[in-house]
Chain A
């Protein structure tokens, strides 16, 4: 299972624009994507905007994004970049 641990940098956390951008990219991936907080919460479906909002990741909190299968590394790199963009 591939995974990336990233710290969410956006002031609004993983909500609003960062959340929408993240889910939009995740939906394009053929495999399941999950997101969990490193300090409790999840894993939740990374393709669901409702699940991501409910996870309620704040600025400065870390998440682990997981995916497996062909192309997972590329998807994870892109999702990690979105989640860590201020």
Chain B
């Protein structure tokens, strides 16, 4: 079983609240989303593993069991082409759960007219595989959901 941690502080609002149908309809996979605390912060690895993909606005960590978790920092943030994001790790790095991966500021994303809400998705999972999905206030590193 994989325990997925909150990659940032904020409010767990569920994927249905994400203003992008790719996430809200569960097309990428099940999980939840965090409406992040506004202000400069660091998004951390939700699980231990290897950084399989690292974009400024999104990253995928794959655990030793092959399970991949996507963290997407804000919606339509690919359009920012990295502006406002600072990478704190590199693609291919091994990270521990809770290790900082990207520094960013949700309030800057919001000021630019985009939603700073962050989907945290269990890739290729079935929704019934997830349990204990957190709702409401979460701190960075809190248990967000269990997978498997």
Q: Does A48 belong to the interface (CB within 8 Å)?
A: yes
Other-chain contact of B27, A12, A21, A48 (Cβ < 8 Å): A21
Residues of chain A lying within 8 A (CB to CB) of residue B53:
53-54, 56
Residues of chain A lying within 8 A (CB to CB) of residue B62:
50
Other-chain contact of B60, A23, A24, A50 (Cβ < 8 Å): A50
In the bound assembly, the distance between CA atoms of A33 and B27 in angstroms comes to 18
Q: Does B28 belong to the interface (CB within 8 Å)?
A: yes
Residues of chain A lying within 8 A (CB to CB) of residue B68:
50, 53
Contact A17 B124 (CB under 8 A): no
Contact A24 B78 (CB under 8 A): no
User: In the complex, how many residues of chain A place their beta carbon closer than 8 angstroms to a beta carbon of chain B?
Assistant: 13
Q: Does A64 belong to the interface (CB within 8 Å)?
A: no
Write the nearest CB–CB distance from B129 to chain A, whole angstroms: 14
Residues of chain A lying within 8 A (CB to CB) of residue B28:
20, 49
Name B4-37 residues within 8 Å CB distance of A: 22, 27-29
Q: Does A16 belong to the interface (CB within 8 Å)?
A: yes
In the bound assembly, the distance between CA atoms of A16 and B29 in angstroms comes to 12
Residues of chain A lying within 8 A (CB to CB) of residue B52:
50, 53-54
Contact A12 B124 (CB under 8 A): no
Write the nearest CB–CB distance from A30 to chain B, whole angstroms: 18
Write the nearest CB–CB distance from B74 to chain A, whole angstroms: 13
Write the nearest CB–CB distance from A67 to chain B, whole angstroms: 19
Residues of chain B lying within 8 A (CB to CB) of residue A21:
22, 27
Residues of chain A lying within 8 A (CB to CB) of residue B60:
50, 53
In the bound assembly, the distance between CA atoms of A20 and B30 in angstroms comes to 12
Against A, the Cβ 8 Å flags (1 = close, 0 = not) of B31-68 are 00000000000000000000011000000101000001
List 13 other contacts, CB 8 Å, given A16-B22, A20-B22, A49-B28. A16-B78, A20-B27, A20-B28, A21-B22, A23-B27, A24-B27, A48-B124, A50-B52, A50-B62, A50-B123, A53-B53, A53-B60, A54-B52
